[in-house]
Chain A
Amino acid sequence: MKNFKYSVADSLDSAKTALMERSNCRIIGGGTNLIDLMRENIEQPDEIVDVSRLSKQIQQLDDGALRIDAAVKNTELANHPKVRENFPVLSHAIVYGASGQIRNVATVAGNIMQRTRCMYFYDDAAACNKRVPGSGCDAINGINRGHAIFGTSTSCIATHPSDMCIALRILDTKINLESSKGKRTVDFADFHRLPGDTPHLETDLMPGEIITSIDIAHSARGSSTYRKIRDRSSYAFALVSVACILSIKDEIVEDIAIALGGVAHKPWRADILESYLRGTPATEGRFKEAIDREMEAAVGFKHNEFKIELTKRTIFSVLSELKTEENSK
């Protein structure tokens, strides 16, 4: 790890100024991702500014949305009564992630901004376009069991590793950003990017910008769940995960929102599946058809071909489970 300067931001303004004025300066939340990457020499900031002591509130807005400050810890968010009551899928997704110790220090913004776990990204002896643009991608013809099946490019096939973000993707989430130039709000859907030929650009965050909070509201109502499939019972990243809200009335899919984790460079909303099912009979046959349509765009690589079948089965399992739950209401 390279030597670096460290300071604690006592206000949002001081953090914004630091980011703007100092070269090669980064902000840090819980540090559970950034520090690991610095230890591996993948991130090499000269200076880091700690924003984990800035505001950590969770408040209800007038329109019913919940505003969660960027420095709120993952554990706090998962345990918050309002979240557990109104957005249980978010609580579930968070507690399926990482470990208790990591969630106790990891922040909301840090979780959103965490970087891929691609093994070649972590090994500075490997070729990786994300780490060194233009150097190539060792994963495409290498070991790619954990890699993406949707939205990949010839430059990069990495996934976004977050669980929390998969749940945020089916909530009506907005990200509030600030820099010394001003404020803006972006849809969560537009925040993470696909790799294209610039896999080193992962989000819509501009230089100097800070995530200050996120707002979550419901776009869909009904029964919800988060299902994570992984190589051990706990403390492993998703091979595939599914966040889903489903409401069924009189045997008809009234509303559905579904997003997939472990399969793409960004939280993957299954739009095709949703629109195929919305307003139509909630039968297992139609579930299967909808899944097949969604999965048509999936492309596997040498070691992750199985993810296509696994994703199909996991979505089906989730839909059947939620259907049973809805029918028993």
Chain B
Amino acid sequence: MTLLKKVMERVLQFTPEKEPDPLIGEGKYIGKAMKRVDGVLKVTGQAQFTAEYKFDNIAYAALAYSTIAKGKITTLDTADAESSGGVITVITYKNAPKIGKPALMDPSGGSSGAMAADIPVLQDERIYWNGQPIAVVVAETQDQADEAVSLIKVEYEEEKAVVSFESELPNAKTPKDVLGEDPEVKVGNAEEAYEKSAHKVDHVYRTPRYNHNAIEPHATIAHWESDEKLVVFDASQMLYAFKNTFAKMFLIKPENVEVLSPFVGGGFGGKGSMWQHSILCVAAARAAKRPVKLNLSREGVYRIVGGRTPSVQHVALGANQDGQLEALIHHGTTQTTEYNNFAEQFSFPARYLYNSKTFDIGQKVVHTDTLANTFMRAPGESIGTFALESAMDELAHEMNIDPIKLREINEPKSDPLRHIPFSCRNIVQAYKVGAESFGWDPKKPGSQSDGKWRVGQGVATAYYPYYRFPGKAKAKIFSNGTASIQAAAHEMGMGTATVQLQHFADRMTLPIEQVSMQYGNTSLPESPMAGGSNQTASLGASIEAAVTALVEVCIKAANKSASSPFKGLHAKDVDIKSGGIYGKETDVGCSFVEILKLAGVDELEAEGASGQPFEMLKHSMHSYGAQFCEVRVHSETGELRIARWLACFDAGRIINPKTAESQFRGGIIMGIGMALMEETIYDDRYGRVANPSLAEYHMPVHLDIPHIEIKYLNIPDEHAPLGARGIGEIGITGAAAAIANAVFNATGRRIRELPITLDKLL
């Protein structure tokens, strides 16, 4: 945390609590399991994704990728590609249009840039990673572009590259910060406390590289309307940052760039930063003087879109006779590059989950000549909880107490390191509800079987912080009684529009059929990125601000008429109710339609901006959950199956159970994949991904996933807009640990390295 933030955190402790959002309770729509507003569009194919947009005279691009990790291109012969059928142009560093310095993504949520790495895009002969784009072919059809790519001949002068994470571990360094937080935290002398502890566990946990595999591979369409005016369709989780990046890198004014991303086919962090294809597509459109479409192939996604770093984590826990932690030590190393410096925050859970007399937490990174690592669903918390929550289970076993009990014993009353109050923390209750519904009853490890299958139960804590970023929204009312809300928000399948319409309808006290939402492009007010599970809370606050501003506008406009019921009233004196504005005390007022009549206009609008997220400094705000599973391990072949799953979440107000449960389930499924089979297979000799395809990079199939029962406490957080904290990422956290713990319970074997493939259980 920066000094300024630390000072603010202290000062804010003395300020009065803000009134909770009046909508934190159940509303007419808030809290209801409503169908997705875009559901019909999606199942009937009417919802258009980036690659589906049609432009007259469009050309198609394909990329050639480097096959070495580091060095220089010495020859690049594109003659055959250029003369291949249908080819319009082949762009390489030799003839690429001038592209400015990468505008880097700002992990604190700003929109100044989006690029994932500080590497020039096609501007010189240097190679920075194995898979780097070295040429763009533009042709009349996709097939012609693809064919021509295979005709490009390239030679390199190779330099010695550092690509192996494992061999680089001895050179690990402490990063400057970990997402704005201190990379190291020490309280007391943890080593000494550990040594003196009555009960101890001390182990190393490993997680592999993972790649993004959203159902929609990345795609971009770029169209230069003039030399100065650019329209881009792009699958993006961060519209405004994309807009600003295009403007900066192509040296045009931001207001001359429009970015559209109405539907995104899954992001998970992989579309949070901008990868080179977006820039290359815009450059290709400039060179070809035509609209250009660049769809990444699945292999292309593996070659140029980063994934989750591998990690090695060391956790040592010491406890006294009663199970209270005396020492919590969590250290580890992840991989990053000089060009993006992103230390994945695996140590965050250890900072918030447990009381301990002493703490020793620290993160290191190694720098490699590889593709930049990036955000992937619950970056940090997903792999961090695997290590920490496995270790807690090991400690419980060592002490012969129930792992849930151990967590209860160490439940902190306030933030254990920041010493500020939690906003709303009901983790013990989540465990209680979960354990009861699941039938938590683990037997002695290795003692249960069903035929040749060994059976065991496992549990782990799910944890994800609350984030909110400032943003803007515009609210409008129309004389036909409808209202709409506008924000450059992102709909990546999670139900953003659906829940915000529920919210907006309740805020405006209008029937949901009368409200609509426009989102997904930069002609709308600036909204923060969809990342860190922040979008629901962030939009919640900006829509609230817009509606408050609209009330003010309405009063002013109505007061132009002599018969206005609002004479002498201000926004603070009125409420929105029954589809209009009425005095708090007097109950005098009128409907929105009447307000427009009084004002003599057809529509009124107001933009509102939400403030800085001070609630995050005044309170320690997080979501929690308890993950329960039952696994079966074949005693002969080591095959591992998940038989049952139940999770109970404490994530604040659930605005829509239907969309929320689907987010939780999706996260858990991704967690099961992470635990059992997903792995980017990396050839450490070449720094090259060896399995860039869905045939070889295994993700769960239906048969791998049991019914997943979701419970949630639904206790609103008084300090969050709508009482809601984010839910997009928490599902994946704790899942891998719950599985590893269940495997231990079934077999008596502790697997500390993911994925838990059957060879590890033979």
Listed in ascending order, the chain A residues whose CB lies under 8 Å from chain B are: 1-3, 41, 117, 119-120, 122-123, 125, 138, 141-143, 229, 231-236, 239, 306, 309-310, 313-314, 316-317
Q: Is B398 an interface residue (CB 8 A)?
A: no
Chain B, residues 681-723, CB within 8 Å of chain A (1/0): the string is 1010110101101011010111110000000000000000000
Q: What are 10 A-B contacts with C-beta separation under 8 Å?
A: A2-B150, A3-B143, A119-B696, A125-B688, A229-B758, A233-B703, A234-B701, A310-B758, A314-B637, A317-B452
Given contacts A2-B150, A41-B150, A119-B696, contact A313 B690 (CB under 8 A): no
Cα distance, A141 to B143, chains bound together (Å): 35
Smallest beta-carbon distance A34→chain B, Å? 15
Cα distance, A232 to B639, chains bound together (Å): 9
Q: Is B759 an interface residue (CB 8 A)?
A: yes
Chain B residue numbers with a CB within 8 Å of A117 are 695-696
Q: Is B8 an interface residue (CB 8 A)?
A: no
Chain A residue numbers with a CB within 8 Å of B695 are 117
In the complex, the answer to whether A233 meets B683 with C-beta atoms within 8 Å is no
In the complex, the answer to whether B690 meets A233 with C-beta atoms within 8 Å is no
Q: Is B290 an interface residue (CB 8 A)?
A: no
Smallest beta-carbon distance A317→chain B, Å? 4
Chain B residue numbers with a CB within 8 Å of A123 are 688, 690
Cα distance, A306 to B761, chains bound together (Å): 10
Q: Is B140 an interface residue (CB 8 A)?
A: no
In the complex, the answer to whether A231 meets B677 with C-beta atoms within 8 Å is yes
Listed in ascending order, the chain B residues whose CB lies under 8 Å from chain A are: 67, 85, 143-144, 146-147, 150, 452, 636-639, 641, 676-677, 681, 683, 685-686, 688, 690-691, 693, 695-696, 698, 700-704, 757-759, 762
Cα distance, A142 to B698, chains bound together (Å): 19
Smallest beta-carbon distance B578→chain A, Å? 54
Cα distance, A229 to B686, chains bound together (Å): 30
Cα distance, A228 to B105, chains bound together (Å): 46
In the complex, the answer to whether B681 meets A119 with C-beta atoms within 8 Å is yes
**Considering only CB atoms, which chain B residue lies closest to A306 in the complex?**
B759
In the complex, the answer to whether B147 meets A3 with C-beta atoms within 8 Å is yes
Our pick among A125, A232, A310 for the contact of B677 (Cβ within 8 Å) is: A232
In the complex, the answer to whether B698 meets A232 with C-beta atoms within 8 Å is yes
In the complex, the answer to whether A2 meets B636 with C-beta atoms within 8 Å is no
In the complex, the answer to whether B762 meets A309 with C-beta atoms within 8 Å is yes
Given contacts A232-B676, A306-B762, contact A119 B701 (CB under 8 A): no
Cα distance, A182 to B676, chains bound together (Å): 51
Chain A residue numbers with a CB within 8 Å of B639 are 229
Smallest beta-carbon distance B233→chain A, Å? 25
Chain A residue numbers with a CB within 8 Å of B641 are 233
Smallest beta-carbon distance A310→chain B, Å? 6
In the complex, the answer to whether B698 meets A310 with C-beta atoms within 8 Å is no
In the complex, the answer to whether A233 meets B147 with C-beta atoms within 8 Å is no
Chain B residue numbers with a CB within 8 Å of A231 are 677, 698, 757-758
Given contacts A117-B695, A234-B701, contact A310 B637 (CB under 8 A): yes
Chain B residue numbers with a CB within 8 Å of A142 are 683, 685, 690
Cα distance, A142 to B686, chains bound together (Å): 10
Chain A residue numbers with a CB within 8 Å of B67 are 125
Chain A residue numbers with a CB within 8 Å of B638 are 310
19 new A-B pairs (CB below 8 Å) besides A122-B693, A229-B639, A233-B704? A2-B147, A3-B144, A41-B150, A120-B690, A123-B690, A142-B683, A142-B685, A229-B637, A231-B677, A231-B758, A232-B676, A232-B698, A232-B700, A233-B641, A234-B702, A235-B701, A309-B762, A310-B637, A310-B759
Q: Give the A-B pair count, Cβ closer than 8 A.
A: 75
Our pick among B637, B683, B685 for the contact of A313 (Cβ within 8 Å) is: B637
Cα distance, A283 to B147, chains bound together (Å): 60
Cα distance, A310 to B150, chains bound together (Å): 40
Chain A residue numbers with a CB within 8 Å of B757 are 231
**Considering only CB atoms, which chain B residue lies closest to A40 in the complex?**
B299
Chain A residue numbers with a CB within 8 Å of B685 are 141-142
In the complex, the answer to whether B701 meets A313 with C-beta atoms within 8 Å is no
Cα distance, A141 to B684, chains bound together (Å): 11
Chain B residue numbers with a CB within 8 Å of A233 are 641, 701, 703-704
In the complex, the answer to whether A317 meets B637 with C-beta atoms within 8 Å is yes
Chain B residue numbers with a CB within 8 Å of A313 are 636-637, 762
In the complex, the answer to whether A317 meets B636 with C-beta atoms within 8 Å is yes
Chain A residue numbers with a CB within 8 Å of B690 are 119-120, 123, 142-143
Our pick among A143, A234, A314 for the contact of B683 (Cβ within 8 Å) is: A143
Cα distance, A232 to B697, chains bound together (Å): 11
In the complex, the answer to whether A1 meets B146 with C-beta atoms within 8 Å is yes
**Considering only CB atoms, which chain B residue lies closest to A3 in the complex?**
B147
Chain A residue numbers with a CB within 8 Å of B758 are 229, 231, 239, 310
Cα distance, A239 to B150, chains bound together (Å): 32
Cα distance, A143 to B67, chains bound together (Å): 17
Chain A residue numbers with a CB within 8 Å of B762 are 306, 309-310, 313
Smallest beta-carbon distance B416→chain A, Å? 39
Chain A residue numbers with a CB within 8 Å of B701 are 232-235
Chain A residue numbers with a CB within 8 Å of B759 are 239, 306, 310
Smallest beta-carbon distance A262→chain B, Å? 13
Smallest beta-carbon distance B479→chain A, Å? 52
In the complex, the answer to whether A236 meets B452 with C-beta atoms within 8 Å is no
Smallest beta-carbon distance B304→chain A, Å? 15
Chain B residue numbers with a CB within 8 Å of A309 are 762
Cα distance, A142 to B687, chains bound together (Å): 12
Chain A residue numbers with a CB within 8 Å of B636 are 313-314, 316-317
Given contacts A231-B758, A310-B638, contact A119 B146 (CB under 8 A): no
Cα distance, A3 to B693, chains bound together (Å): 23
Cα distance, A306 to B693, chains bound together (Å): 24
Chain B residue numbers with a CB within 8 Å of A138 are 683
Cα distance, A239 to B757, chains bound together (Å): 11
Smallest beta-carbon distance B22→chain A, Å? 48
**Considering only CB atoms, which chain B residue lies closest to A120 in the complex?**
B690
Cα distance, A90 to B234, chains bound together (Å): 48
**Considering only CB atoms, which chain A residue lies closest to B762 in the complex?**
A309
Cα distance, A321 to B700, chains bound together (Å): 28
Cα distance, A193 to B295, chains bound together (Å): 40
Cα distance, A1 to B690, chains bound together (Å): 20
Cα distance, A1 to B141, chains bound together (Å): 13
Smallest beta-carbon distance A36→chain B, Å? 8
**Considering only CB atoms, which chain A residue lies closest to B757 in the complex?**
A231
Chain B residue numbers with a CB within 8 Å of A235 are 701
- Most chain-A CB neighbours within 10 Å: which of B144, B636, B638? B636
Cα distance, A2 to B147, chains bound together (Å): 5
Cα distance, A3 to B149, chains bound together (Å): 12
- Most chain-B CB neighbours within 10 Å: which of A125, A138, A239? A125
- Most chain-B CB neighbours within 10 Å: which of A119, A143, A233? A233
Cα distance, A142 to B701, chains bound together (Å): 28
**Considering only CB atoms, which chain A residue lies closest to B66 in the complex?**
A125
Cα distance, A313 to B636, chains bound together (Å): 6
Cα distance, A316 to B762, chains bound together (Å): 14
Chain A residue numbers with a CB within 8 Å of B704 are 232-234
Chain B residue numbers with a CB within 8 Å of A232 are 676-677, 698, 700-701, 703-704
Smallest beta-carbon distance B102→chain A, Å? 26
Chain A residue numbers with a CB within 8 Å of B693 are 122
Chain B residue numbers with a CB within 8 Å of A41 are 150
Cα distance, A239 to B634, chains bound together (Å): 15
Cα distance, A231 to B678, chains bound together (Å): 10
Smallest beta-carbon distance A292→chain B, Å? 16
Chain A residue numbers with a CB within 8 Å of B150 are 1-2, 41
Cα distance, A73 to B696, chains bound together (Å): 24
